[in-house]
A and B are shown apart, each in its own frame.
Chain A
Amino acid sequence: MKKNILLLLIVGICFGCSENGSTEDPTAAVEAPETELLPGQEAIVDPDSDPNILQIALGSKDHTTLVAAVKAAEQTTALANNGPLTVFAPTNAAFAALPEGTVDNLLLPENKMTLISIIQMHAAPGSYSLAQLKDGQSLFVASGHNVKVEVREDGTYVHGAKILGTVNAANGIVHVVDKVFTP
């Protein structure tokens, strides 16, 4: 448990360093809930290497719902492995804006496959920087869907969600978004 807290603190710092044009401040470290120990390489404490997508998400106070969902869906390995992945990371506020009960419902064991599909909808194989996301582009995401990119005057939108900030990860790119993708 101590290890995890240390990891989060370290990631929090790294995250601050590698932040890239973010309009939010998702850098504050949070304590991992007591019960959640990560498996395998996700548990490696490595303050030297650039943080991976999972570590960035774990280190963000604005993504605790996303992290809880990723853990419940057992998708942590994909976010810590060598990638590359482009992850569209909805904020806690984005999850909170869903109809009441949606998240709790998704976290029920019998809805695990649906949860997995929704999480995978937020991950595109490959590293797409903000500049590489072009207006009208159709992006294939891991759930099997295609999501559409729109470049509007006030920013870049993916599947109707606005990109609020971008963080480079060792194994890809995280774009923080203001809406949860649903099919």
Chain B
Amino acid sequence: MKELLKLCLLLPAVALLTSCGGDGNPNKATQGAFNTNDAAAAVYVAPGEYDEYYEFFSGGFSGQVSVVGLPSGRLFRRIPVFSVDPEKGYGFDEESKAMLNTTHGFIPWDDAHHPKLSQTNGEIDGRWLFINGNNTPRIARIDLTTFETAEIIEIPNSAGNHSSPYLTMNTEYVVAGTRFSIPIPQKDVPIETYKENFQGMLSFISVAPEDGDMDIAFQILVPGFDYDLASSGKGPSHGWTFFTTYNTEKGRTMKEATASQNDKDFIAAINWKKAEEYIAAGNFEEWDSEYTNNIVDEGSHIASSETKHKVKVLNSSNCPGMIYFLPTPKSPHGVDVNPTGEYIVGCGKLSADLTVHSFSKMMAAIEAESYETIIDGIPVLKYEEVVTGVVKSGGLGPLHTEFDGDGNAYTSFFISSEVVKWNVGTWEVIDRVPSYYSIGHLSIPGGGSMKPSRKYLISMNKITKDRYLPTGPELAHSAQLYDITGDKMRLLLDFPTDGEPHYAQGCLAELIKPNSKKFYKLDENTHPYAVMSEEDVRVERDGKNVHVYMSSIRSHFAPDNIEGVKVGDRVYWHVTNLEQDWDTPHGFAMMGARNAETLIMPGLTKTLVWEPKVEGVFPFYCTDFCSALHQEMQGYVRVSAAGSDVPLKWSLGED
């Protein structure tokens, strides 16, 4: 926070500098395009027309993912992932609660960072979206046929899961790294023993090709640095994953100063194919490490949690050939491998310049065993033997780089608040355009894959003073859409985002749209409390538990009059939506329920628990305006005294 404040203080100075025109910014003249009909036409998607791209934004501290269309910037859906969502009942209804279980218990929130779309042969395949939870280390998998979170896996022996999920080019693995080193395994030690007791861990989580099921394949124990971001190799560099590090000083307090001492930190290059060999050869330790894996059952749509107990750990110090350090200046933040797989771009966030390493030079240096030094058994390659280019940007605070597939790269500069376009190969700056303000991540649809599209670029900006109507102390973060089809970037659109996006990834809508599910088939619903028709509805008592087997269809619940519930009962409302039609969810809300509503998609069963505390007659109703008689979609439940002999009965349409 302090760091951010300091950067904010710097901003006016930067603005002053740039507004003098002294930097010769060639884009000044075209900024006016923002207000022209030309720009408006470029983003106008006529009523009833579809956007060309899906773009998935992380919500950052909202813990969720938002689905936006490009070029319009229209928000289509907010997918609950790591945070509860009372709107949909996510984390509140009995079916979804287990999604948020961890070894720390039920956690209703996380900080969602980097959405990454699954790939096949280095191209986005439109099957799943992965995103990391930064706070209590987890990775979620979202099914892109349903746009729902299908699985969450906890990462053991980790903390600050920031360098994640950055999947490999066939989605063999999603990865996770400790931004915050900790005692591994955890133990009670003085914090001042950081240098002796703290370590990092890089985790490789396998993804089953048929159903996406995640499992911790192996973990790699590494020195106690801060592993910040990652990028997996492709083409020639397939088989390698690169992690940036900072705090190679191993500072534990006042890190803004202590972690900025070294002129260079490292990019850690992991040869995961070599790691697989060590695992296959049995050259690992099996640790007792608990972690939770939550998964939604396809038939019942009920999430269940499994606690797993073992992980395979490789120690980087005794696995030669598995890990190398590439010296990289000034606390590098982003690392991005270009679409050909040859260049590894590191952004030293305290620097003005970018460092470009060459994969082939790296391999030659490894072959020659040309090391500068060895740290904890890990060879440090010589900077001048791996670096192939330096981009002299003229900006300040580079963070992330994306590529357009035509040999251009685009880097975000937080402090100087701009996007700089440069040539991959000559390392020359081609163009620069301001962002409003303090850009963090940037995104080109298809970014991170071998086939990015050269049409739009999105900047995600932290500061929006003077951009929108003010809303008190907290302002919306923004996204800005740029046209990148020409030599010059051109700002087209500026729209607020949900939460704080830390990266977004998109793809052509055609990769996802044809597979989007319309409803769930009722005859495939295996929920134990489902009803297949109104003939099946009933109420059953089991001690103090009352199970209501209920159905909903336009425009009534069955049953809708229930008696015989008593104070002290625990009532399970199992509501099956009998509709078999697209876009026909029903909601269910019960007066006095201390959880939320639940939204029930057609063909599914959802369960809301209600514990009545007082006698009376209480209404329940449908919350999703389903039909012309939605207001009539309502019923009553009578609650009698704890010892009363009112018999259990239920009905629909009785005179």
Contact = CB atoms under 8 A, between A and B. Distances in A.
Interface stretch (B162-170, B393-401, B576-584): B576-584
Contact of B580 (A83, A84, A127, A170): A170
Most chain B beta-carbon contacts within 10 A, residue among A48, A50, A82, A83: A82
Contact of B581 (A52, A85, A127, A132): A52
Interface string A149-183: 00000000000000000000011100000000000
A46 interface: yes
Given A48-B519, A49-B518, A84 B554 contact: yes
B582 A49 contact: yes
5 contacts: A49-B580, A82-B554, A132-B653, A170-B584, A171-B627
Nearest to B580: A50
Nearest to B626: A82
Contacts of A49: 518-519, 580-582
B489 to A, nearest CB: 37
B518 A46 contact: yes
Contact of A84 (B519, B583, B628, B653): B628
* Size band of the interface chain B makes with A: 10 to 19
A136 interface: no
* Size band of the interface chain A makes with B: 10 to 19
Taking chain A's interface residues, is the majority helix, strand, or loop, or is none over half, making it mixed? loop
Interface string A27-59: 000000000000010001010111010000000
Contacts of B628: 82-85, 125
B628 to A, nearest CB: 6
A83 B518 contact: no
B22 interface: no
A123 to B, nearest CB: 11
A16 interface: no
Interface string B616-651: 000000000011110000000000000000000000
Contact of B579 (A40, A44, A170): A170
B145 interface: no
B49 to A, nearest CB: 13
B528 interface: no
A83 B48 contact: no
A126 B629 contact: yes
A82 B628 CA distance: 8
Contacts of B584: 82, 170
Contacts of A170: 579-581, 584
B283 interface: no
A49 B627 CA distance: 17
Given A84-B627, A171-B581, 11 more contacts: A46-B518, A49-B519, A49-B581, A82-B584, A82-B627, A83-B554, A83-B628, A84-B555, A84-B629, A127-B554, A170-B579
Contacts of B580: 49-50, 170
A126 B555 CA distance: 7
A40 B519 contact: no
Interface string B579-623: 111111000000000000000000000000000000000000000
A172 B555 CA distance: 9
A85 B584 CA distance: 15
A108 to B, nearest CB: 30
